[in-house]
Amino acid sequence: MKPKTIAIIGAGPVGGILAAHLCSAGHSIHLVDTWEEHIRKIEAEGLKITGNEEKTAHPDRLLTSVSDLGDPVPEFIFICTKACYLDSVLRGMSDGIKHSNTVFISAQNGIDTEHVIVENIGAGHVLRAVITFAGFPTGPGVIKETFYIPPSYIGWLNAEGEAPCREVAEIVTAAGLTMEPTAEIQKHVWRKTILNTCTMAIAAVTGLNMQEQYEFAPTHVLIEDLLRESIRTAAAYGFDYGPDFFNTVMEFNEKAGPHRPSMLVDLENGRKTENGFIVRRVAEYAERKGIPAPAHRTMAICIDALEMRGLKK
């Protein structure tokens, strides 16, 4: 396979793991992150992946601003930041890249992230990915991979996007991260959102990790309420995951142990959250169909309030 020039915006767990694999496969990687210490450490010692696998990669370009992208113009750009930073990422990008033939891939959590990019780029050059590997930074320059449940998925938004979508899936799969192209990407987007929202929301509001939520009877009931709401909402939009899906999600999340969802960590550190693309977005979609979603709406309001308070400090 001919090496590609690929930019990855966001060098957290998803972007970092992806960058390391694509580097190892021989592609020219331009890695962007606003965490300067992280970028400088990678520049000095390489990007290190630990945990499930051990890799050290050396991206060709290391940048702290998306405004520095563009020489050469990447063939593909993976956006791996939190969805709440999409607007600032796109504002900082040059018009030369936005109006080029570059293909943009939203590799983020939440519903409708790709539509934010489409508003700036156009549907034919935008793809949506659902990523099934994760981890966390253990320090500057180091990402610990904690799980990988292949495959990840990538989908096109219109017919023009199908060919580049299949090409991206082939590139990522050849780099060791199995990715499946699909015309039904929204089904996978909603499935991952359902898995996330029922425990992420409670963690954000209460500070409880996932194990504590399951052990405390009232929050265990709330997990079930949130899960039923999101499953009913998805079904109203044509996404049916079968009769065993409720139990599958409950059992999957219970195995997470004392995991602290990222939305809780973001609030603790006074950062913006992905609430608008996850918890609040499920509530909004439910209300459009007249489906009661009081748990999602209440949790979304509480998270918005906590975020507002944290950002004011």
Block means of pLDDT (10 residues each) for the chain, 313 residues, are 95 98 98 98 98 95 96 96 96 93 97 96 93 95 95 97 98 98 98 97 98 98 98 98 98 94 95 97 98 98 96 82
Confidence at residue 1, expressed as pLDDT on a 0 to 100 scale: 76
Cβ partners under 8 Å of residue 101, min gap 6: 75, 125
Domains within the chain, CATH numbers bracketed: 5-183 (3.40.50.720), 187-312 (1.10.1040.10)
Residue 104's DSSP bridge partners are: 77, 126
What per-residue confidence (pLDDT) applies to 312?
Answer: 83
Q: In sequence order, which residues have a C-beta less than 8 Å from that of residue 71 and are 6 or more positions away?
A: none
Spell out the residues 6+ positions from residue 31 whose beta carbon is closer than 8 angstroms to its own. 7, 8, 11, 15, 19, 39, 42, 47, 59, 61, 62, 63
Residue at token pair 């990988």: 148
Burial code (b: 16+ CB inside 10 Å, e: under 16) for 213-233 equals bbeeeebeebbeebbebbbeb
86 SS3 class: helix
Helices then strands, each counted (H, E), the chain: 13, 12
Write the single-letter amino acid at 128. Answer: R
Q: What are phi and psi of 111, to 5 degrees?
A: -100, 135
Q: Residue 196: what pLDDT?
A: 96
DSSP letter assigned to residue 47: E
